Amino acid sequence: MRSKMSLVFLAFILALLPLFAACAPEETAPTLTEVGKNAAIDQIKAYPDVLDAAIAQDGYDLSLAIIVPAATSEARAKELGEAFVRLVKTLGLLDSGKSEPAPGKEIGEGIFDYLITVASPDQTIIVQGAKVRYATHITW
């Protein structure tokens, strides 16, 4: 009788394990370094049609913003947005001892979820896209 109760108790505990795992605190997201953010921003601002750029981080969520002239085409805005994500993936964790997988032909999977906004100086959004960590490309 005792071993039967032990088996029932063990089965009960095993059934609860997924609940405990779901309640466990998430691993802390790596923080982009100031050196990495500044390097990515400086490089995207080196493009002649980029007027300004910024990066904000909230845990695993990164918001990237680029300001371009109002006459910028949607296609060019997407090119700039993709270039910015590639720069952040490559440089964002510089000097932190951590890194995201380097982009190749595709941007590839990574550590962070990205929200990319390319807008004109009057804050009119030209394009907006997102890339979740398990996706290989931006969805515009």
Domains of the chain by residue range? 34-131
- Please, what's the largest Cα pairwise distance for the chain? 80
Positive or negative: CA dihedral 42, 43, 47, 53: negative
97 conformational bin, left if phi > 0, alpha if psi -120 to 50, beta if neither: left
pLDDT at 10: 52
Show Cβ contacts of residue 49 under 8 Å, excluding neighbours closer than 6 positions. Answer: 68, 69, 72, 76, 80
Q: What is the pLDDT of residue 94?
A: 76
CA dist list (Å): 91 to 7, 22, 36, 63:
52, 32, 5, 15
At 111-134, the pLDDT tens digits run 999 999 999 999 999 999 999 999
Give the pTM.
Answer: 0.80
Q: Among candidates 102, 88, 93, 110, which has minimal Cα distance to 30?
A: 93
What CATH number belongs to 34-131? 3.30.300
